[in-house]
Structure formats: C-alpha cells, structure tokens
Amino acid sequence: MTTQTLSSPAISIAPNAGNPGRAQTLHEAAKGQVYTVRQVLADPHAPERARQLEEIGFCPGERVMIMTRGIPGGDPLVVRIGQSTFALRGAEAACVQVEGLARSA
C-alpha cells in the first residue's frame, strides 16, 4: 500500500490529516509534515518537562514540523514551531502529542 502526502505550495499535510481523532507523539511524527500540537503530557521521570516545553512554545493549537532527525538513531530532532527552531531529545518529543493538520476547505 502506498501512502500519498497531499501538499500545497505553503504546507504539507500529514498522512493522518483525514483522521483528526488519531493523535501521536511528536517523536512518532513524520519528517517534513505539518502537525498541530494537541497537548503536552507530563513525563513521570521529569515532571518539569511539560512546563519547559510549554514555555518555549509547545502549546495546544500551535503548528509544528520535524525538519530533520539526527543520525544515527534519529535523536535529536530538529523541530520548527511558530517562528522558532529547536533541537529536542526523543524523550522531550515523546511528551508532545500532535495530530495531522486538517486541510481547510
């Protein structure tokens, strides 16, 4: 089965955009796809992490995109949110729940 990514000159739509109920973590998200932050989850091993992520802009409703992943292993992730670019460790990205950006009609 082939997965097709819809795109326009301005944005690229995530493959799960047709299923807005399907959420995933930013760590699981595909590189180059645009997502919307759904919520920031607390990490039981680092409870301050959710607050730190929200302070730098990972708030519900914000658009986010993984620009690239480190080699080898995919860690860290280079992430664009708003007008800012950050490097996040996989454990940090796993705290950010996202969903595919729905295409406006």
In a domain, 6, yes or no: no
DSSP lists the bridge partners of residue 66 as: 31, 79
Q: Within 10 Å of residue 3's Cβ, how many Cβ atoms?
A: 7
The model's pLDDT over 1-60, given as tens digits with 9 standing for 90+, comes to 333 333 333 333 344 444 444 679 999 999 999 999 999 999 889 989 999 999 999 999
In a domain, 5, yes or no: no
Q: What is the pLDDT of residue 71?
A: 87
Contacts of 90 (CB under 8 A, 6+ apart): 27, 74, 75, 76, 77
**CA dist., res. 102 & res. 105, Å (int):** 9
In a domain, 20, yes or no: yes
In a domain, 105, yes or no: no
Q: What is the pLDDT of residue 22?
A: 66
Task: Count up the domains in the chain and report the number.
Answer: 1
Q: What is the CATH number of the domain that holds 80?
A: 2.30.30.90
Q: Is 53 helix (H, G, I), strand (E, B) or coil?
A: helix
In a domain, 1, yes or no: no
Domain of residue 29, residue span: 15-100
Across the range 68-87, mean pLDDT stands at 91
pLDDT band at 103 (very low <50, low <70, confident <90, very high): low
Across the range 72-80, mean pLDDT stands at 90
The pTM of the whole model exceeds 0.85: no
In a domain, 9, yes or no: no
